[in-house]
Amino acid sequence: MSEQDAFALLPETRREILRRLKGAGELRAEELAEAVGMTASGMRQQLAGLVAEGYVTHRQARLGPGRPKHVYRLTTAGENLFPRRYGDLVGDLLETAQTEEPGFVDRLFDRRRERRLERARTRTTAPDLADRVAAIAAILDEDGYLAAARPLADGGGWLIVEQNCAIFDVAIRCGTACSSELEFLREALPDTEVRRVSHMVAGAPHCAYEIRPRGTRPETGSTEADAGLSGAD
């Protein structure tokens, strides 16, 4: 679920509180209560819920005579609830760069893949292939892909499933992004055969990669059917 979907599911009162904080930067509970039209005690209850959800934080500030007051502001998670069009901007820049200098985008993704490989090599030193596949899935998960590895139905390898594409807005406009991802997996696990069996850009609900020890792929049959996958390319 995207941050914007999470925002839409919040009660209207909490959405309005977040909008007020987004516009003002920092506000006291009393100021928010007046702006939204509710009691200060009710506002504090709403703010406590937003703090518990990780969308709002607070600090003590001396705003004049008397005791310091709590002032509230959005956390990074709260900021991310509001639309940001980074993907469109990056896509536009990549398209322009490719037009101005063919091959430039390929080199960018090559550099990205090399940096990711450097990180992956420090975490894929285990002799057991299953441990290395799990390490790669963990790296992908840390990168925002909501990834996990599981054994194939026939027991001959593993399936890494990415429930989210961290660069989807770029991938739908730049095929190099997806080909670079596949090459990353193949280079990170050089003693395996890696095949993409499900592809979000092709309309599947997720991306998935079938990983088998080199030379063990069956000549017939397909495990993605067992896994209920689609959108392979």
d(CA 64, CA 61): 9
3-state secondary structure of 52: helix
**Tell me, what's the pLDDT at 211?**
98
The answer to whether the CB of 47 falls within 8 A of the CB of 59 is no
Q: Mean pLDDT of residues grouped by 10 in the chain (233 residues)?
A: 73 94 92 95 96 94 80 91 73 83 89 95 96 97 92 96 88 89 97 96 93 84 47 55
Q: Do domains 3-79 and 86-227 have the same CATH topology?
A: no
**Tell me, what's the pLDDT at 229?**
53
3-state secondary structure of 131: helix
Report the CATH number of the 86-227 domain.
3.30.1380.20
**Tell me, what's the pLDDT at 43?**
96
Q: CA 120, 202, 9: angle at the middle one, nearest 5?
A: 85
3-state secondary structure of 105: helix
**Tell me, what's the pLDDT at 225?**
39
3-state secondary structure of 62: coil
The CATH fold of domain 3-79:
Arc Repressor Mutant, subunit A (1.10.10)
Domain boundaries, the chain: 3-79, 86-227
**Tell me, what's the pLDDT at 85?**
63
3-state secondary structure of 81: coil
Residue 186 CA to chain centroid, in angstroms? 21
What DSSP character marks residue 200? G
d(CA 198, CA 207): 5
